[in-house]
Amino acid sequence: MFGSKQKKKTEWVQTAMLRYEKPLLQYSYSIVRDLERARDVVQDTFMRLFKQEQEAIEGHLSQWLFTVCRNCSLKVLRSQERYVHVESSEFEGRSSDEPSPSFELERKERVSRLMELVQELTPNQREVVRLRFQNFHSYQEISDITGLSVGNVGFILNAAMRSLRDKMERDDREEKIIYLTKTA
Amino acid sequence: MERSISDKDITDYVLNELGPRERLYVESMMLGCDESRSDVVSLMEVSRLLEDGLECELFTADLQLDAVRRGDIFAYSPSQVWESVWRAASAAVALAACVAFSIAAPVISKVAFRGEASKSQLARQLGIDDFSDVVDPAAFPVAMFEMDDSIQGGAGDEFPTHVLLPTGAVNLGEMPVPYLGSDVN
């Protein structure tokens, strides 16, 4: 009886790891800014998952994982009281072997530029943006994970998205000016 | 006064976080407003770029647990199952011990049933069936008198034959008569 229950639980955790290992690592990394510590946090998160009953978490596994991961990351951060500088090369996207049309190249450049601008957001904004656009959590789920009110989550996302858009538009205008100046 | 839509309303609309009624309202307000519509278009573009960019981050090669940590997670599990089993068994054993102690301990049983034994003794002495209101016979304050129907008094009085004291029933005939003075006949 215990053997089959154990096997079922192991399979459940393995499935969760396949789905959430990378997003949790990325999320934790964005908080602790150290890959090894992020790995420790995610390991701790999945070990805690083993202690839980599957039925108790079913239906809100993602929220549970991200909440525990966040709490563990903040605990590490508090004990460290420092940030580790991140090399931008660690965030290089997957390279394509196929030749890219100019439109696709331009889009990739815009994506790359946007990701640099994301690093300039406040920690709160970065966290909420990541939970929304990388892990597709709703306002309510983000509120449950971070402890912020639903209204506050909306406010932070609104401010973050408009800030990113305004900066990109400003960069576009400056590029045009530079281009026009060179060709003149 | 008609409420106009705010920047946050537009962002909530783009992120599909509005309820059906609110969504309808925002769409109706945007019909006549080019600025709001271009706002929506630009925020949708930012949303798509963010999704693409953050998805790319997940493909970073180093972003996974190493084999040692992965092994530790799955090696952690068996002890947790047995720990819960032992915990449940310990609780059951402790409960059984408490029940057994409460039944078998003579001190507890004597304290629990002392009143009943005393009540039955008094009830036998007096021939009374219902003595349920007496909690502690040792604290019984009033002496009860048992009447003897065979004694005939001068005016049809009935004289008690026994008085019940806390220490037990006492025959009145055997009690010393108090001296009441030479004037009493």
ipTM associated with this complex: 0.71
Q: Which residues touch B7 (CB under 8 Å, ≥6 apart)?
A: A158, A162, B39
Question: Does residue A112 register a pLDDT over 80?
Answer: yes
pLDDT tier at B143 (50, 70, 90 boundaries)? very low
pLDDT in tens, B4-48: 889 999 999 999 999 999 999 999 988 888 889 999 999 999 999
Looking at residue B64, its pLDDT comes to 81
Residue-range domain boundaries for chain A: 2-80, 101-183
Nearest to A165 among B12, B46, B53 (CB): B46
Burial (CB count <10 Å: 0-12, 13-18, 19+), residue B74: middle
Task: Identify which has the larger pLDDT, B181 or B143.
Answer: B181
The Cα–Cα gap between A28 and A37 comes to 8
For A136-140, B32-36, B64-68, B139-143, which range has the lowest pLDDT when averaged over its residues? B139-143
Looking at residue A86, its pLDDT comes to 41
pTM (global) more than 0.80: no
Looking at residue B176, its pLDDT comes to 61
Mutation site, B63, B68, B81, interface A, largest A CB count within 10 A: B63
- CATH 1.10.1740 fits domain A2-80: yes
Instruction: Compute how many other C-beta atoms are within 10 angstroms of the C-beta atom of residue A95.
Output: 6
Task: Identify which has the larger pLDDT, B144 or B42.
Answer: B42
Q: Tell me the nearest-neighbour CA distance from A110 into chain B, angstroms.
A: 8
Residue-range domain boundaries for chain B: 7-57, 106-174
- Residue B48's closest chain A neighbor by CA? A133
Query: In the CATH hierarchy, which fold is given to the domain comprising A101-183?
Result: Arc Repressor Mutant, subunit A (1.10.10)
Phi, psi dihedrals of residue B147, rounded to the nearest 5°: -85, 145
